[in-house]
Structure 1
Amino acid sequence: MLVSNHLGILERSLDAAMLRQRTIANNVANIDTPQFKSKQVVFEDLLKQEMNGASGQQKLQAYRTNARHIPFADSGLNVVPRIVSNPENFVQNNGNDVDLEFEMSEYAKNQIWYNGLTQLTAGHFQKLRSVIEGGGR
């Protein structure tokens, strides 16, 4: 109960949200840098693929911090967020493709997503606390 797939998914999702925050900040910081190519974080689609697989069956594998650890199934998450180029952005005259409105929109969406994830994580630990304390307050 202390370590579950749900908590692992929340942990990885929070990591992705933090990485997305840093990536957006980097894009905005380089808005006037010639030839700068903006980046974005890909995570949600990778998570769906990991959870459903090609056959539609759940196939979560154990998350191992070291390749030498013994593999075991259904107790972790192997998907990690990736930073990729933003191929759809319009390139300006100076070769820079940062769109401030798009970045700020992504920032707002990411902030809402992060807040929701922190609430879910807090709820998970509140349930654990309730179980440990006997459920009666």
Structure 2
Amino acid sequence: MGISFDKALGIHEHTLSLRSKRAEVIANNLANADTPGYKAQALDFDKALQNAMNGHNKGLLRTHEKHISSSAGSSAFSDVVYSVPNQPDTGDGNTVDSQKEMAKFAENAMEYQTTLMFLSKKFKGMKTALKGE
């Protein structure tokens, strides 16, 4: 009887990849904080996680067999949405709030580390079980 990593790891393998994608989106917002007309984006984490759990995380659909497929590990592009700004427009059309984005980045980094620690303990437990200790 083989070990099913899907059952052993559960939702956490999906959350790890989504937290990585979320970090990319937030970093992109911070990089474009001074770009006129740039609209801040956010990852709809709940929707992305639901799509990942249902196997709908393949990115863009291929409409022709000669099209290059997108990477299988990326979340669906429909999960990235534009953020609703909390502050009035400063005149340049940019909706990035740098302080808010930095706070989201720090929170996401902590959640990423927590998920890594949880997965590490899962693997340690599986290793212990395999050794029969």
What TM-score results when the alignment is normalised by the length of structure 2? 0.72
Q: Write out aligned runs for 1:9-28 (5 A).
A: 9-28=11-30
Residue 21 of structure 2 is aligned to residue 31 of structure 1: no
What SS does structure 1 have at the residue aligned with 2:5?
Answer: coil
Q: Which residue is equivalent to 2:105?
A: 107
Q: Write out aligned runs for 1:19-98 (5 A).
A: 19-44=21-46, 47=49, 63=55, 80=75, 82-90=79-87, 91-98=89-96
* Structure 1 residue 30 displacement after superposition: 0.4
Q: Percent of counterpart pairs with the same letter?
A: 29
What SS does structure 2 have at the residue aligned with 1:95?
Answer: coil
Tell me how far apart the structure 2 counterparts of residues 121 and 41 of structure 1 sit (CA, whole Å): 22
Q: Which residue is equivalent to 2:121?
A: 123
RMSD: 2.6
What SS does structure 2 have at the residue aligned with 1:4?
Answer: helix
Tell me how far apart the structure 1 counterparts of residues 92 and 56 of structure 2 sit (CA, whole Å): 44
Amino acid at match of 2:6: S
Q: Which runs of 5+ in 1 are unaligned?
A: 51-59, 67-79
Judged with a 3 Å threshold, the aligned counterparts in structure 2 of structure 1 residues 107 and 46 are, in CA distance, closer, same or farther, namely same
* Structure 1 residue 65 displacement after superposition: 8.2
Q: Which has the higher helix share?
A: 2
Moved more, 6-15 or 98-107: 6-15
Tell me how far apart the structure 2 counterparts of residues 111 and 35 of structure 1 sit (CA, whole Å): 27
Tell me how far apart the structure 1 counterparts of residues 5 and 57 of structure 2 sit (CA, whole Å): 15
Amino acid at match of 1:104: M
Judged with a 3 Å threshold, the aligned counterparts in structure 2 of structure 1 residues 23 and 128 are, in CA distance, closer, same or farther, namely same
* Structure 1 residue 6 displacement after superposition: 5.8
* Structure 1 residue 14 displacement after superposition: 0.6
* Structure 1 residue 88 displacement after superposition: 3.5
